[in-house]
Amino acid sequence: MQEKCYFNKKVVDNFKASLVEDATFTPYEEYPILKSKFISTEIPKKIIPFDKSKEIKISDRKDYYVCFYCADETFNKTYTYPKKYLKYLGTFGGIITQDWSIHEDLPIIKQKENMNKNLEVAYYYGNNGLKIIPNIRVGTDKIKEEYYKAIPKHSTIAIGTYGFIKSVKEQKNFDAFIEDVIHYLEPRDIIVYGAMPKRVFNKYIKYGVRFHQYDPYVTTKFGDSHGK
């Protein structure tokens, strides 16, 4: 684990070093390690995607956690202008952290880039007082182990299934992913945004893992069955 990150505040922060001010990092890839004190201990009452969050009245927002299970381009601005969106996201109960896309067919360097980006922004918002629930999204098996070292064990985490478990093959892959998550992180609670098919989840429920399932926005509003 490396020393704290310092940066020259007089230099234009083109590399977003300020997102991980005072962070410690994993040994090799240097992913910022999320602190346990950042992680919310409450289970969200409701969840709303970032791109639909303005539909929620200000007076009702504390009942909602904002998630980022939506198209990447709709929330890129939370990385480009993090301070601006800190104030906006602070009007909600908390956030399920960003979900820049990570697909196994992407070049590994791009997978690592988005894994790091997700962690950097999560660190920034947690370090600035937002209640966060880490969204878990990893790439190929070759690079997953160190990523998990950046997430506190025995905490509440979130996963998105919407659009990822339609076929039998996708369900098998997601089953392996859930098994890894439980093995590496030993989470207290898992927030599931999307369907929870018995084929994937039943055996983990029997082992005592606490899942909390939320229907996607488009399902509750339109009955849509299509995903990201």
Asked, for residue 85, whether it belongs to a domain, the answer is yes
- Burial category of 152 from C-beta neighbours within 10 Å (exposed 0-12, middle 13-18, buried 19 and up): middle
Asked, for residue 218, whether it belongs to a domain, the answer is yes
Asked, for residue 18, whether it belongs to a domain, the answer is no
Asked, for residue 24, whether it belongs to a domain, the answer is no
Asked, for residue 6, whether it belongs to a domain, the answer is no
CA atoms within 13 A on the CB side of 162: 27
User: Do 99 and 191 meet the contact criterion of CB atoms below 8 Å apart?
Assistant: no
Alpha helices, DSSP H, located in 128-195: 144-148, 168-185
pLDDT tens-digit readout, 112-126: 999 999 999 999 999
> Which residues are within 8 A (CB) of 7 and not within 5 positions of it... i.e. 6 or more apart?
13, 17, 18, 21
pLDDT tens-digit readout, 164-203: 777 888 888 889 899 999 999 999 999 999 989 888 898 8
Asked, for residue 31, whether it belongs to a domain, the answer is no
CATH code: domain of residue 63? 3.20.20
Asked, for residue 43, whether it belongs to a domain, the answer is yes
- The number of distinct structural domains making up the chain is 1
Q: What are the structure tokens assigned to 105, written together?
A: 């067919």
pLDDT tens-digit readout, 145-168: 999 999 999 999 999 998 777 788
User: Do 219 and 225 meet the contact criterion of CB atoms below 8 Å apart?
Assistant: yes
pLDDT tens-digit readout, 78-110: 999 999 999 999 999 999 999 999 887 889 999
Produce one character per residue of 179-189: b if its CB has 16 or more CB atoms within 10 Å, e if not.
ebbeebbebeb
> Which residues are within 8 A (CB) of 49 and not within 5 positions of it... i.e. 6 or more apart?
66, 67, 68, 69, 70, 216, 217
Q: How confident is the model at residue 135, as a pLDDT? A: 97
- pLDDT, averaged across the chain: 89
Does the pLDDT of residue 3 top 60, yes or no?
no
**Residue 161 lies in domain:** 36-222
Asked, for residue 157, whether it belongs to a domain, the answer is yes
End-to-end CA separation in angstroms for the chain: 35
